[in-house]
Amino acid sequence: MSAPLAEIRGLSVSYLREEARSFALRDVDLDIAKGRRLAVIGESGSGKSTLALALAGLLPPQAWIEGAVRWPGLAKPPVAGRDVGMVFQDPGGSLNPVLTIGEQVAEGAVRHLGLDWRAARSHALTLLERVRIPDPQAALRAYPHQFSGGQRQRIAIAAAIAARPGLLIADEPTSALDMVVQAEIVALLDELVREAGMTLVFITHDIALASGFADDIAVFQRAQLVEKGAAQAVLAQPAHACTKRLLAAQIDFSTPRLIDGVADV
Ligand code: ADP
Ligand code: MG
């Protein structure tokens, strides 16, 4: 097996809260395997976003960091936007309302690939086609508010991969979307990472969503990594109570409920 893209070793991240240290992550060891799709699962507040920020080198200055994230293939720490692309839950958070879609998708290519704006615009056009935005030519000149939530997320994905990062981190990218659109976005991410040989870290509190496409699963609970392994193994035989609970919740959710003997689907 090739060296991991990133090695997280003994990583703890804490914040000062009411004069005590409160841990967002505690002593985490995790390899991000190259070319694989890792689902990071856990309840709200379990440290998932903190892990994403730590990987991208974007933790705020007040974060107290112990341990390390090593990148065996990089001579220097990764640059967010170039080596690590990020997509967040709310595309409003990654898209600027007063800049055109063209400017925003092209920006990564100008800044990190050294393309001039003309070349970057045509790169942006290709990316918008790739994420299947209708009429991509017109979309280049349009603004975020002119698109639906699902389309905005597609645009945010196009912008995140514009500089061809080796790692794409999607932090609950579908939580704000309805179920059909969620499935479409997951399918798109899956397709893009396969095609580009990118590594994907997909963060979600929804184990059902992750189970469809993840190669590996890491489960977080209260700042700790409580279970990790190949997705099939973890799903078939969860070892930790937290994973079992997340799976049980999924089964309750996806099994049609019987009301007066009639399936409520
Ligand atoms: P998740 O993404 O799983 O919901 P987070 O990583 O956002 O969890 O947060 C984990 C814990 O760290 C939470 O208790 C949260 O309140 C705390 N935390 C995260 N970021 C900060 C911050 N910048 N300052 C203080 N506490 C934070
Ligand atoms: Mg989060």
Between CA 28 and CA 67 the distance in angstroms is 9
Cβ(83)–Cβ(113) below 8 Å:
no
Give yes or no for a contact between 109 and 162, defined as CB atoms under 8 angstroms apart.
Answer: yes
* pLDDT in the model for residue 1: 63
Q: If you search the block for the tokens 């990594």, which residue do you land on?
A: 225
**In the predicted model, what is the mean pLDDT of residues 111-122?**
96
pLDDT in tens, 69-90: 999 999 999 999 999 999 998 8
Rounded to whole angstroms, the Cα distance separating 36 from 58 reads: 22
C-alpha to C-alpha distances, 236 to 115, 126, 233, 239, 244, nearest whole angstrom: 47, 40, 5, 10, 10
Distances (CA, A) of 43 to 172, 242, 243, 253, 261: 12, 9, 10, 16, 33
Residue 164 has pLDDT above 80, yes or no: yes
Q: If you average pLDDT over every residue of the chain, what do you get? A: 91
What was the pLDDT predicted at 151?
95
> Which tops the pLDDT comparison, 259 or 95?
95
How much distance in Å is there from the Cα of 61 to the middle of ligand 1? 14
What is the mean pLDDT of the segment spanning 90-95? 77
Verify whether ligand 1 is closer than 6 Å to residue 48 (CB atom). Answer: yes
265 CA distance to ligand 2 middle (Å): 30
- Tokens matching residue 91: 């595309």
Taking residue 212's Cβ as centre, other Cβ atoms within 10 Å add up to 12
Each residue of 22-66: pLDDT tens digit?
999 999 999 999 999 999 999 999 999 999 999 999 999 999 999
Q: How far apart are CA 223 and CA 28, in angstroms?
A: 9
Dihedral angle of Cα 58, 62, 67, 71, to the nearest 10 degrees: 20
Q: What is the pLDDT of residue 30?
A: 98
Asked if residue 12 lies in contact with residue 23, where contact means CB atoms within 8 angstroms, the answer is yes
Q: Which two tokens stand for residue 41?
A: 């699962």
Average pLDDT over residues 140-161: 95
Per-residue confidence (pLDDT) for residue 89, from 0 to 100: 87
Nearest to residue 254, comparing CAs of 262, 246, 88?
A: 246
Instruction: Identify the pLDDT of residue 206.
Output: 87
- Percent of the chain scored above 90 by pLDDT? 80
Mean pLDDT across the stretch 88-117? 91
Residue minimizing CA distance to atom 12 of ligand 1 = 24
Q: Rounded CA gap, 120 and 143, in Å?
A: 18
**pLDDT tops 90 at residue 194:** yes
| Ligand 1 atom closest to the CA of 43, numbered from 1 | 3
Q: Which of 49, 62, 64, 90 to mutate to test the pocket of ligand 1 (most atoms within 8 A of CB)?
A: 49
| pLDDT at position 166 over 80 | yes
pLDDT at 251 over 80: no
Is the CB of residue 23 below 6 angstroms from any atom belonging to ligand 1?
A: no
pLDDT computed for residue 176 by the predictor: 85
Is 81 within 8 Å of 111 (Cβ atoms)?
yes
Of the candidates 234, 193, 198, the one whose C-alpha atom is nearest the C-alpha of residue 40 is 234
Q: Which two tokens stand for residue 56?
A: 């991208």
Residue 179 has pLDDT above 60, yes or no: yes
Q: How many CB atoms lie within 10 A of CB 169?
A: 28
